[in-house]
Amino acid sequence: MHDADIDSLPEEAMALLQRGMALYRADPAGAELLFGIARSQAPASLPLYRALVKFYNRECAFDAAYDMAALGMQEAARLGQLPDDWRDWTLDMLNGKAASFALLTLKAMAFIELRRGNTPASVAILERLKQLDPSDGIGSSVVASLAAGI
């Protein structure tokens, strides 16, 4: 899959995503339904996973946010030809948009683990991110600062 394909969404899925984003504050259940339909239409769409992670995080549904992040990261790993387990990733494997999305999603998972009260799991992810992103290009140091303050 080419990098350009990662950010593209079928027109119908994009419309559902936009409707869900506009609706989520007034009707979270309706927005969730629209997001789910959009995801069924475009299951390889990384932007849909990102939107769902943000949606569940804002709703304080941290288990659902984590699950969606894990699914998004799994899809990004598949698209980026990375091993399924992030612990097996190496710096030289991380090339392209899918790999960047996978790293950003891993950072999100570290943040969500903090919100779920699972600081040791968050710290483990953050330690791996230090190795995978030594220049801190994705900003995992911000989440690490939060973890250190807990």
What's the CATH code, domain 3-148?
1.25.40.10
pLDDT of 106 > 50? The answer is yes
Q: Quick one: which of 40, 44, 63, 41 has its CA closest to 109?
A: 63
- Of all residues in the chain, the percent with pLDDT exceeding 90 is 69
Choice between 83 and 11, residue whose per-residue pLDDT is larger: 83
- Give the mean model confidence (pLDDT) for residues 34-51: 89
Given this model, what pLDDT does residue 7 score?
60
Query: Considering the entire predicted model, what is its pTM?
Result: 0.86
pLDDT of 16 > 80? The answer is yes
- Of all residues in the chain, the percent with pLDDT exceeding 70 is 95
Q: Quick one: which of 83, 57, 127, 73 has its CA closest to 105?
A: 73
Given this model, what pLDDT does residue 2 score?
40
Given this model, what pLDDT does residue 4 score?
36
Domain boundaries, the chain: 3-148
pLDDT of 5 > 50? The answer is no
- Give the mean model confidence (pLDDT) for residues 117-128: 96
